[in-house]
């Protein structure tokens, strides 16, 4: 567990290779509790790989990531799943809501998996917070792109994670929706006190974050 | 919302596919259940109706026909045999009991059997009302006869000639109900029993002067297939046992006959000697119920086995169908599986959720199959009196049905196994990247 001053995310000398080719080389950085960070980088810079390493979905070739004080890659798979379940909420560009479930059921399932129980009142409050009360029983295929994005954000937050990471959450949206989406992420993270890390190549978001990190494409060795 | 709830949600989400898989399994399970109910109840009924009877003696002809007509009361008799045969066999030291049967008449389709009280006792028949017959034209009716005809004690009825109920009525010789039997679950429930003398008298014969005494029957012309001439009656030849037949003009009891004799052995020696002895007589044949029914069941068994094989094939097909449905559904849901892992679901939990989906499908099909199987049996028993008379009922569950349900559910789990095992090999990051 972390102490109040300890960062929730610590990235050190992180590098990942696939078939001998470096696909991600991240600068060292930390993110404290409640801090909102924009991770900017062009396509191919390894943003998604970095998110996958931070969430423990892949093990980096070198370097380490500490989440809430624990080195993700050093944990056995079961403990890594548990840490992710309890600590990290993820928002993907493609939403990845479960198509067979309604918005409310998607949130309930995520909450059940993370907390082992359902808190219906918290789910309803979150649905209201993202403005989907009237669409709570709709299936993902019945939602607009904007409604789907809001449902995905609500799902990421429904287990009250200490960290929310989002991978290209606005890349498919027009300007107005991109701003609305980032504002919603910021507002909900602010409301829950979550640490927010958004990886994007979308420069439109730069102005809305007080802290921006840049991820450069990894250099190919000569 | 739990992973079990997610299994249900996925099934509901592809409702048509789910319904078709359930339907396929329902058909196979229902077929197997019908076979189980039919064959087990048939075999049990055969065994119950033949209880205590070691041998049946009747006129020459088909031994199976003799057994069916004399024990199960479902076929026409092979003919008649001289009454003297009763005394002949009663005198045999290896024979414990001889029960004569005289057939040929019926009332509203229920056979009137001329016999002795020992016949009722053989089936454990107990009087629910009234008393056992003691004189000619007194009748004791089975529980089903009483229920279906509404007959009560003291009521009189007229028997019809022949076994199908559409012959002429013996209006001059009405029977009186003196006893009603409690249900036995045997053939006795649908019979009307009366002294043998009633049958003789109804057909213009007089009983012998003393019980057990018989007359010489030499000179009677029984043809080979057991059918006889009918000088006094104009009947369909296969419609009745010819108790009276050509002897209608011989009132006085000199040519009395019975239709068949039910024999109980005193010793096992009888089984070795008696059938051969009887079959050497020109007019008689002996048939062992156990042998004939084993032969019949083995003949029926070929058909039953064929239908059973078809049903098992159908079940295997439905298992394959469930496998294909789950496999293709899970290919489409690989992204969902990866997302569940991202949200923290353990691989074992997702594995269980997929297996549960197969099990839910199979359980629905299996339970519906059992319900449909019983409904079909109930409808068959209601529609076909022969099946109802045989005692076929849908209100009974066989242990084999539980086995069928378990097999179907096991098959559902097995069909889900291969798709479910994939969850342990899934590369979450790659799947998320590949399934956008």
Question: In this structure, what token pair is assigned to residue B230?
Answer: 């009918």
Express as a percent the part of chain B with pLDDT over 90: 27
Cβ-based contacts of A108 with chain B (< 8 Å): 1
pLDDT score, position B139: 93
Query: DSSP characters for B254-298?
Result: TT-EESEEEEEESSTHHHHHHHHHHHTSSSEEEE-HHHHHHHHHH
pLDDT mean across residues, chain B: 81
Domain boundaries, chain B: 3-46+300-434, 55-287
Residue A202: what are its φ and ψ, rounded to 5°? -85, 100
> Touching check for B344 and chain A: CB below 8 Å?
yes
Q: Looking at the complex, does the CB of residue A114 fall below 8 Å from at least one CB of chain B?
A: yes
Instruction: Say yes or no to pLDDT of B379 above 90.
Output: yes
Smallest CA–CA distance, residue B315 to chain A, in Å, is 28
Q: What are A87-100's pLDDT values in tens digits?
A: 999 888 788 899 99
Tell me the count of A-B CB pairs closer than 8 A: 65
The alpha carbon of residue B430 is apart from the nearest alpha carbon of chain A, in Å, by 9
| Closest by CA position to B418, among listed B335, B314, B341, B322 | B322
**pLDDT tens-digit readout, B158-207:** 888 776 656 666 667 789 999 999 988 888 998 999 999 988 887 776 66
DSSP annotation of B169 reads: B
The CA distance from A2 to the nearest CA of chain B, in Å, is 21
With contacts defined as CB-CB under 8 Å, which chain B residues touch A109? 1-3, 5-6, 343
B413-419: average pLDDT = 87
Closest CA to B384 of B171, B74, B115, B53: B74
Once rounded to an integer, what is the mean pLDDT over residues B421-425?
A: 86
- Output the pLDDT for position B171: 67
Query: Which of B73, B90, B114 minimizes the C-alpha distance to B257?
Result: B114
Low-confidence winner among A95-104, B95-104, B133-142, B416-425 (lowest mean pLDDT):
B416-425
Q: Which of A78, A81, A91, A151 to mutate to test the interface with B (most CBs of B within 10 A)?
A: A81
Q: What mean pLDDT comes out for the span B302-327? A: 80
CB contact under 8 A, B344 and A98: no
Cα atoms in the 13 Å half-sphere on the side-chain side of A212 = 15
**Cβ-defined contact of A82 to B436 (cutoff 8 Å):** no
Question: Which residue in B2, B9, B344 is closest to A85 by CB distance?
Answer: B344
A94 touches chain B (CB under 8 A): yes
pLDDT recorded at residue B251: 40
| pLDDT(A86) > 90 | no
CB contact under 8 Å between A98 and B342, yes or no, is no
Q: Tell me if A100 and B9 make a contact (CB, 8 A cut-off).
A: yes
Q: How far is CA B397 from the centre of its chain?
A: 15
Could A98 and B336 be called an inter-chain contact, meaning their C-beta atoms sit closer than 8 Å?
A: yes
Q: Which of A109, A138, A162 is best to mutate for the B interface (most B CBs within 10 A)? A: A109
Q: Is B340 on the interface with A (CB under 8 A)?
A: yes
Is the Cβ of B5 closer than 8 Å to some Cβ of chain A? yes
* B340 contacts in chain A (CB < 8 Å): 98, 113
Q: Report the C-alpha gap between B390 and B380 in whole angstroms.
A: 12
Does residue A32 surpass a pLDDT of 50?
yes
Residue B268 at interface with chain A, using a CB cutoff of 8 Å: no
Across the interface, of A49, A105, A114, the residue whose CB is closest to B343 is: A114
Query: In this complex, is the C-beta atom of A115 within 8 Å of any C-beta atom belonging to chain B?
Result: no
Put simply, whether B64 touches A (Cβ < 8 Å) is: no
Put simply, the answer to whether A113 touches B343 (Cβ < 8 Å) is yes
Distance between CA atoms of residues A103 and A123, nearest Å: 10
| End-to-end alpha carbon distance in chain B | 25
**Distance (Å) from the alpha carbon of A142 to chain B's nearest alpha carbon:** 13
Give the confidence band of B248 by pLDDT, cuts at 50, 70, 90: very low
List of chain A residues whose C-beta atoms are within 8 Å of the C-beta of residue B1: 101, 105, 108-109, 112, 118
Which residue in B has a C-alpha nearest to residue A81's C-alpha? Answer: B344
Confidence of residue B375 (pLDDT cuts 50, 70, 90): very high
Please indicate if any CB of chain B lies within 8 Å of the CB of A178.
Answer: no
Taking CB atoms and an 8 Å limit, are A110 and B10 in contact across chains?
A: no
Pairing between strand A9-18 and A29-31?
antiparallel
Confidence of residue A5 (pLDDT cuts 50, 70, 90): low
Among chain A residues, CA nearest to B344:
A85
Dihedral Cα B178, B181, B187, B193, nearest 10 deg? -10
What string of DSSP letters covers B328-376? HHHHHTHHHHHHHHHTT--HHHHHHHHHHHHHHHHHHHHHHHHHHHHHH
A112 and B344 within 8 Å at the Cβ level: the answer is no
Check pLDDT > 80 for residue B23. yes
Q: What is the distance in angstroms between the Cα of A14 and the nearest Cα belonging to chain B?
A: 17
- Please tell me if residue B210 touches chain A, with a CB cutoff of 8 Å: no
What residues of B are in contact with residue A116 (Cβ under 8 Å)? none
Shortest distance, CA A176 to any CA of chain B (angstroms): 24
**Residues in Cβ contact with B84 at an 8 Å cutoff, skipping those fewer than 6 apart:** B214, B215, B216, B217
Contacts of A86 in chain B (CB under 8 A): 344
Domains with residue ranges and CATH for chain A: 9-210 (3.40.50.300)
Give the closest-approach CA distance of A213 to chain B in angstroms.
23
Q: Is B348 a residue whose pLDDT tops 60?
A: yes
- pLDDT tens readout for residues A103-132: 999 999 999 988 888 889 999 998 998 889
Residue B316: what are its φ and ψ, rounded to 5°?
A: -65, -40
A112 in contact with chain B, both atoms CB, cutoff 8 A: yes
Whether complex ipTM tops 0.95: no
Find the CB nearest B346 among A58, A81, A112.
Answer: A81
Closest CA to A46 of A25, A76, A28, A63: A25
The arithmetic mean of pLDDT across residues B77-88, rounded, is 88
């Amino acid at each position: 567990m972390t102490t109040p001053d300890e960062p929730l995310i610590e990235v050190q000398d992180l590098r990942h290779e696939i078939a001998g080719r470096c696909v991600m080389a991240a600068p060292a950085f930390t993110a404290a509790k409640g801090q909102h960070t924009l991770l900017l980088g062009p396509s191919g810079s390894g943003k998604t790989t970095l998110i996958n390493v931070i969430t423990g979905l892949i093990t980096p070739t070198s370097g380490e990531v500490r989440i809430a004080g624990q080195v993700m890659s050093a944990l056995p798979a079961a403990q890594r799943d548990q840490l992710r379940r309890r600590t990290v909420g993820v928002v993907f560009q493609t939403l990845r809501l479960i198509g067979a479930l309604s918005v409310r059921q998607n949130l309930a399932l995520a909450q059940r998996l993370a907390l082992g129980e359902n808190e219906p009142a918290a789910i309803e409050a979150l649905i209201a917070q993202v403005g989907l009360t009237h669409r709570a029983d709709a299936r993902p295929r019945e939602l607009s792109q904007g409604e789907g994005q809001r449902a995905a954000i609500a799902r990421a937050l429904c287990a009250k994670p200490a960290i929310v990471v989002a991978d290209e959450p606005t890349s498919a949206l027009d300007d107005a929706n991109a701003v609305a989406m980032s504002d919603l992420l910021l507002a909900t993270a602010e409301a829950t006190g979550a640490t927010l890390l958004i990886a994007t190549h979308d420069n439109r978001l730069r102005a809305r974050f007080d802290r921006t990190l840049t991820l450069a494409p990894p250099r190919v060795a000569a | 919302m739990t992973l079990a709830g997610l299994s249900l949600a996925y099934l509901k989400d592809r409702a048509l596919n789910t319904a078709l898989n359930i339907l396929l399994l329902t058909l196979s399970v229902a077929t197997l259940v019908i076979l189980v109910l039919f064959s087990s109840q048939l075999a049990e009924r055969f065994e119950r109706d033949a209880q205590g009877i070691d041998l049946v003696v009747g006129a020459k002809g088909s031994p199976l026909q003799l057994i069916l007509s004399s024990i199960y009361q479902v076929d026409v008799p092979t003919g008649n045999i001289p009454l003297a045969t009763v005394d002949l066999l009663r005198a045999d030291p290896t024979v414990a009991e001889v029960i004569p049967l005289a057939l040929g008449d019926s009332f509203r389709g229920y056979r009137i059997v001329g016999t002795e009280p020992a016949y009722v006792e053989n089936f454990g028949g107990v009087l629910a009302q009234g008393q056992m017959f003691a004189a000619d034209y007194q009748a004791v009716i089975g529980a089903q006869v009483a229920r279906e005809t509404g007959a009560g004690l003291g009521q009189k009825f007229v028997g019809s000639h022949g076994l199908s109920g559409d012959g002429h009525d013996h209006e001059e010789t009405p029977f009186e109900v003196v006893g009603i039997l409690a249900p036995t679950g045997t053939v006795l429930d649908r019979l009307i029993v009366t002294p043998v003398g009633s049958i003789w008298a109804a057909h213009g014969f007089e009983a012998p002067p003393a019980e057990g005494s018989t007359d010489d029957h030499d000179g009677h012309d029984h043809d080979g297939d057991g059918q006889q001439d009918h000088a006094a009656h104009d009947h369909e030849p296969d419609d009745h046992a010819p108790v009276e037949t050509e002897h209608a003009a011989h009132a006085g009891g000199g040519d009395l006959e019975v239709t068949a004799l039910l024999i109980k052995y005193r010793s096992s020696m009888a089984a070795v000697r008696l059938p051969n002895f009887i079959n050497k007589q020109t007019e008689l044949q002996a048939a062992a119920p156990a042998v004939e029914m084993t032969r019949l069941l083995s003949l029926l068994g070929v058909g039953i086995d064929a239908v059973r094989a078809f049903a098992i094939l159908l079940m295997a097909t439905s298992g394959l169908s469930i496998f294909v449905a789950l496999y293709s559904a899970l290919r489409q849901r690989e992204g969902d599986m990866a997302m569940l892992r991202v949200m923290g679901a353990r691989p074992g939990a997702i594995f269980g959720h997929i297996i549960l989906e197969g099990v839910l499908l199979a359980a629905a099909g299996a339970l519906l199959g059992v319900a449909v199987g019983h409904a079909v049996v109930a409808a068959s028993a209601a529609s076909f009196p022969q099946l109802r008379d045989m005692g076929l009922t849908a209100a009974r569950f066989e242990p084999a049905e539980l086995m069928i349900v378990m097999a179907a559910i096991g098959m559902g789990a097995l069909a889900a196994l291969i798709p479910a095992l994939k969850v342990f090999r899934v590369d979450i990051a790659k799947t998320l990247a590949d399934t956008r």
